[in-house]
Amino acid sequence: MAICVTTRLQPNHAAEYRALMLQAYAQHPDAFTSSVVEREVLPLSWWQGRLNPAPDGQDVVFGVFCDDVLVGAVGLSFDKREKARHKATLFGMVVSPAQRRLGLGQQLLAAALSYARARPGVLVVQLTVTQGNTQAQALYARNGFVEFGLEPYAVAVENGFVSKVHMGCTL
């Protein structure tokens, strides 16, 4: 049985994180606002910057490693604007298909919410999830997220558009 550990990703994880996310963008284009085309051209330094270990960094990303292989990730982005510093946005939730249904998404979400709760001044975490992704929406609901809106035509995909459900969790 695999040993899986969730941890905050560091700049030295950038290549693995990049590969995981590019695979996710390719496999699930309707689930992410970013695309493979726009993200694969970004230099490794961009990915390293997203994994900046500073305690007050704008982005924080958690990863889950099973037997030392990165199989899942989720990020938090903290708003720096004075009137919005109380909000964080959850982004980029992914678990590799072979490791789904092992509770790894729950582990990642718990780590992100715990970090957000410990961050001074953060009162709410918001996210968007593709309408119809009932498994992801149920995971978020089990962790205190409630729906507060629907954005039609949120993301253009190859065969049209998908809508995004907006959810929030008061910490």
**What local confidence, expressed as pLDDT, does residue 55 receive?**
87
Sign (positive/negative) of CA torsion 71, 2, 133, 111? negative
Fold adopted by 4-170: Aminopeptidase (3.40.630)
pLDDT in tens, 90-128: 999 999 988 888 899 999 999 999 999 999 999 999 999
At a CB cut-off of 8 Å and minimum separation 6, what does 50 contact? 14, 17, 59, 61, 75
Contact 62, 75 (CB under 8 A): yes
Mean pLDDT of the chain: 95
**What local confidence, expressed as pLDDT, does residue 27 receive?**
94
| Beta strands 124-130 and 87-95, pairing class | parallel
Q: Please state the domain extents for the chain.
A: 4-170
Residue type, 110: A
Tokens encoding 148: 């507060």
pLDDT in tens, 136-154: 999 999 999 999 999 999 9
**What local confidence, expressed as pLDDT, does residue 155 receive?**
93
Contact 72, 15 (CB under 8 A): no
Map residue 158 onto helix, strand or coil: coil
- Answer whether residue 1 shows pLDDT above 80: no
Query: Averaged over 31-46, what is the pLDDT?
Result: 95
If you search the block for the tokens 């729950």, which residue do you land on?
A: 106
Q: How many CB atoms lie within 10 A of CB 8?
A: 14
